[in-house]
Each structure stands twice: as structure tokens, then as C-alpha cells.
Structure 1
Amino acid sequence: MAAGTITIFGGSGFIGRYVVARLADSGWTIRVAVRRPERAKFLKPLGNVGQVVPIACSVRDQASVEAAVAGSDAAINLVGILFQQGRQRFDAVQAEGAERVAAAAAAAGIGRFVQVSAIGADEKSPSAYGRSKAAGEAAVRRHLPGAAIVRPSIVFGPEDDFFNRFAAMARLSPVLPLIGGGKTRFQPVYVGDVADAVVAALDGPREGAPGGGRTFELGGPKVHSFKELMELMLRIVRRKRLLLPLPFGLASLMALPAELLPVPPLTRDQVELLKRDNVVSPGAEGLEAFGIHPHSLEVILPTYLDRYRPGGRFMEHLPHGM
């Protein structure tokens, strides 16, 4: 894959920083298209001087999207939100925004394009999040039939919003909720593996290369229930907490006032998402299509959750009495 100029929409997010690092190592010149470029400056040291350039762009603004892709050889759309607030609505960002990006890329003659979606993208999903993700995929296919679509399950890594959130809760609360009884199944996938797959998916379309016109579902080596994930997290942080089953109906009621917070810990739409398993579909192409061997959750989690242990990461290495 000959490196050139690539535009990454939403490149300053959790997955984006890993994608940027890999592309920089491969010699790409990278435009990181984000709403607040000053918050993406931390990405610049990942490349050489001038190799990683944050630029101002909103996927809700046509002119800024067109300017972001002008002259680029490839593009990746990583933009997504976990909850709605103000003008940031699922449809506006994940459906209409994806279409705006794909249409601009097609008009600019970009042949390499990757849309990062999510397992759970379904036009019939009970969740507005899932429906908007499906609408975004469909829009990309209309404008760029050769685009690759990547759907990860829940993504874990040092900056994740899942295990870090519950580990932080375990520091303070004697009880952790198991929404729906904790039976929902997940197939957690390591962020580094996702980034590798996203970059590999750019290498198409051509015969024998994974990428163009195909959809990939990315999951780790094991499927876990929500309850099992909480038990694993608690073992790693060495804390005993009561895992309290919480019916979906009661969880929705509790989410209603939580949605008024600037960063809600739970929304009603997320409760709807939890009613369906989040695992790779039988027969779907996944990490193996790129020759990627997924990292184990049990190996990676202790490398960053150990800071939530009583006394912190290094307490067990201190001499007794300190």
C-alpha cells in the first residue's frame, strides 16, 4: 500500500489515536478532521513534523467536510457518539454525517474508504443508536460501493469508557448494577486489533485484498456475559462488590434523570442496546480476514486496570509499613 494523504474524521477519539499511530508509522500524511482541533494536538508527536495535522471540521457542515477530503487519497470515518445531547443527535452525526462524508469522498475521487460502524447496527434495532449506525452504513454504500465497513464489538484498551468506568465505580460503590440480570453477551476486542483491521481494510479494492465492498465484524477470542465481564474486572482490581441484577424496565426509569447530566452514566437508548447480544454474527468475516490474531481480554485488562486496586498500582511493591 503506497502511502499518500489520508483524512480521518473523528481521529482524536479512543480508536482514532491508534489508527493515527499506525498510519503515521506507514508513512501517510494525516489530516485529523475534528470539531475542536486544539484537542487533537496530542496526536502530532505520533508522526514526524507536519505529518499529523488536526483540522477543524464538523460532519454536520458540508463545506468543512468537502475541504477536509480535498486532495486526499483515502479517508476513514470514525465519528460516533454514545449519547445524544444538544445538536449532537444520532441521526445527524451517525447517519446524515456519514452520508455527507461518503458523498464528499466520492466527489473528490477517493477510492479507499473505511466506515467504522458497530456490531448492533440494524435498521430494525430497538435502539436509535443501532438504527442510525445502520443508516450510516447504507449511505456509505450508496455513494461508495467499494468502501469497507468495520463493525467492532465493545472495544477495550487503556482509554476505554467501559472497563475504566465500572472500575472507577467499584472504588466508591459497594454495589454494581447488572442491567437485565447481566445476561447480555459481548465479544470484547482490543483497540489495537481494531486499529490494525481498519488500516488493513484500506488496502482495497483489489483482487485478493480484504477491504473493498465488504463488511467485517470484529470480536475478541472469547464471548462473555455482562456479569462475567464485571466479575473479571473485580478480580483484576481486587475488590469485592455486590453485583445486583437490575431489570430492564427499572434501568430505563433510572436512566431518565441520568440523561439530564452533561455526561450521562446511562441512557434509555443504551438500555435498549443491552437487550441484544453484541457478538460477531455466525459466518461473518472478521479479524482473521486480515491475518490478525486477537489479543486476550484477560492478558490486556490487568495492564491498565491495576491502578484501580486498593492503594493503587504500586502499593503491593512498597515495603511493609509504608
Structure 2
Amino acid sequence: MFGGTGFLGNRIVRHLRSHEFPVRIASRHPDGAYTRSDSEDPHLQSVKADIHDTRSVADALAGAYGVVNAVSLYRERGPETFHSVHVEAARRVAAQARRTGVKRLVHVSGIGADAASPSRYVRKRGEGERAVRTEFVDACLVRPAVMFGPDNAFLSTVLALFRRLPIYPMFGSGRTRLQPAYVEDVAEAVARIVERAEFHRAVFEFGGPTPYSYEELLRAIARQAGLTPRLIPIPFVVWHALAWVSEILPDAPLTRNQVELMQIDTVSSPDMPGFAQLDMSPRSIEEILRTMLLNPTVR
């Protein structure tokens, strides 16, 4: 499991274990790869590995039946670029998986991945898919929509701003289409793909049960929290300018890449396999948010 310490990846690890798969988490910081309770699990192992190093990747894959690559990057920093992570590292994992005899490869990308996109992030996701398939022909590609969960920055930030500000600045006119998927549902879907060997070369798109416009999504979140914020459209040209200034800061709260992504619809295609093909019914953001608000410790 590469990317097993991330927002989605750590949940994939748990769901793979619930399906009784022994799991090896490959991480640059193996000591922090799992919790104390997890460390008592004899079928959960953490090994030191650098996804940018071929020998390190090959060693991590030795003897493995399958591999899931959920490594992602949303903000470029120095040598960590969209190309180095989403293309070159993805190619490296796929190539070494083939060479070491791995039977199953699941590569996590994103809805809308397109090698011809003007967005650098989306383009590199598309190039990464192509690189993976070149090296490992039978790889399964997983494209989640925007994911949410209790410890997700999107939900917590939106709720905090709703509670503190009399107005909420929207990206553009709020018409961008989104289909948020619950991160636990996506993690379970990945585990089922690994388990069911009949899926070869499949491309799955995982969106939640309801597509929203960005404005509709914000109003749905506010309604569940019992809030009535005033939503104010802010042109994307203003957001791009703010992001340009923000990127000067050491830990930029907003990047131009994030603004670009908010201009792109991320809705699953009805023609693509998804949750239904895995006998799953995805949960709505309203359902999960209700549970979160009633029980803040929910996972």
C-alpha cells in the first residue's frame, strides 16, 4: 500500500484488513504509518520506502499479491511536483509491480483526469493513468470525485467559516458541478476491487448519490448545521489574484491550482463502472454530516 498514511490511504488499509488481506504499508516514515492499536495487528506491517527510488519500491513490493497506489499531491513543493508524483512515481510503481510479479494493481487517480487538460494537475493525473497502463496493462484505475469525511479540511473549513463570517465568498457563481463521495465508501470500494479478481483493466468512477452545484452543496451543508450564511459570488479572476499572492507565503492557504480545480466539473459518468458494480450504495454528505454533528468522534 503506497500512500497508506493519507486521507484516503489509511482508510483503504483498514478496509483491506477488514477483508482479511495482510497489508504492508510502504512509507518514507514507517514509524507513523499506523496507530498503537494497529501495531498489535500481526498482519499489518510498515516498511520504509521512497516512491521516487526504484530499488526502494521494488523491495517494498517483494512477494506482494497486489498493490494499491494512493499517493497524491495537491501542492507542489521543490522536487515534489505533479509530474514527479502523479506520472513518474506512478510509472515506477507500475513497472516494478510488473517486474516483481504482482498480480493486482489499483491506481487511484481522480474524476476528470485528462492528459489534454489545460490544468496542470488534471493533465498530470491523466498522464499518470497512461503511464501506469503502459507499464501494467491490467491495472485498475480508480477515479474518486471530491471526497469528504470527518477529518476532511473541506467540511471542517466550510463549517468554521459559516459559523464565524456573516458572508461566505463562493468560487465564481457557484455553478461548478460536484458529486462528493464519502471517503469510507471509496476505501471499501478499493478493497472490493482488490478482492474481486474478475476486474481487469477496469476504470471506476466513484461519485456520491447526488450531484450538486457548488452553491447547492454549500447550502446543503449549512442546512444540516442549522446555519443560514449569505453566499457571495466572487469572480475567478479575483481568486486567481488572491492565490498568486497566497503562494508567496511559506504554507499557502490557497493556490492557483486549487482555484483551477474549482472551475472544473467533477461528476461521475453514468457510462462508467462505479459503486453499483461493487454492490454498494454510497452515502450522502447530508447523512454523514448529520452523524458528525451529533457525534463528533465518528470516523
Question: For this structure pair, what is the TM-score category when the shorter chain's length is used for normalisation?
Answer: over 0.9
Of 143, 165, 178 in structure 1, the residue corresponding to residue 170 of structure 2 is 178
Match of 1:291 in 2: 279
**Deviation at residue 46 of structure 1 after TM alignment:** 4.0
- Residue 227 of structure 1 aligns to a residue in which SS? helix
**Deviation at residue 173 of structure 1 after TM alignment:** 2.9
Q: Write the mapping of 1:219-230 to structure 2, written as runs, cut at 5 A.
A: 219-230=207-218
- Residue 26 of structure 2 aligns to a residue in which SS? strand
- Matched AA of 2:24: R
Match of 1:235 in 2: 223
Match of 1:138 in 2: 130
**Deviation at residue 237 of structure 1 after TM alignment:** 2.6
Match of 1:16 in 2: 9
Per-residue CA deviations over 1:124-171 (Å, capped at 9, x if unaligned) read 222111111111111110111111101010111112221122112233
**Alpha-carbon distance between aligned partners in 1 of 2:262 and 2:3, rounded to the nearest angstrom:** 25
Distance 1:67 1:267, change over 3 A: same
**Alpha-carbon distance between aligned partners in 2 of 1:128 and 1:306, rounded to the nearest angstrom:** 40
**Alpha-carbon distance between aligned partners in 1 of 2:55 and 2:168, rounded to the nearest angstrom:** 45
**Alpha-carbon distance between aligned partners in 1 of 2:66 and 2:143, rounded to the nearest angstrom:** 19
Tell me, yes or no, if the aligned pair for 2:169 and 2:231 is still in contact at 8 Å. Answer: yes
TM-score calculated relative to the size of structure 1: 0.87
Unmatched 5+ stretches in structure 2: none
Q: Which moved more, 1:289-298 or 1:53-62?
A: 53-62
Q: Which moved more, 1:236-245 or 1:75-84?
A: 236-245
Equivalent pairs counted in the alignment come to: 297
Cα RMSD for the two superposed structures: 1.9
Match of 1:116 in 2: 108
Unmatched 5+ stretches in structure 1: 1-7, 308-312, 315-322
**Alpha-carbon distance between aligned partners in 1 of 2:97 and 2:157, rounded to the nearest angstrom:** 36
**Deviation at residue 262 of structure 1 after TM alignment:** 4.3
**Alpha-carbon distance between aligned partners in 2 of 1:14 and 1:305, rounded to the nearest angstrom:** 20
Calculate percent identity across the aligned residue pairs. 38
**Alpha-carbon distance between aligned partners in 2 of 1:295 and 1:47, rounded to the nearest angstrom:** 30
- Residue 117 of structure 2 aligns to a residue in which SS? coil
Tell me, yes or no, if the aligned pair for 1:24 and 1:46 is still in contact at 8 Å. Answer: no
Per-residue CA deviations over 1:245-289 (Å, capped at 9, x if unaligned) read 111111100111222344433211122222221101241111111
| 2:161 equivalent to 1:169 | yes
**Alpha-carbon distance between aligned partners in 2 of 1:242 and 1:157, rounded to the nearest angstrom:** 24
TM-score calculated relative to the size of structure 2: 0.93
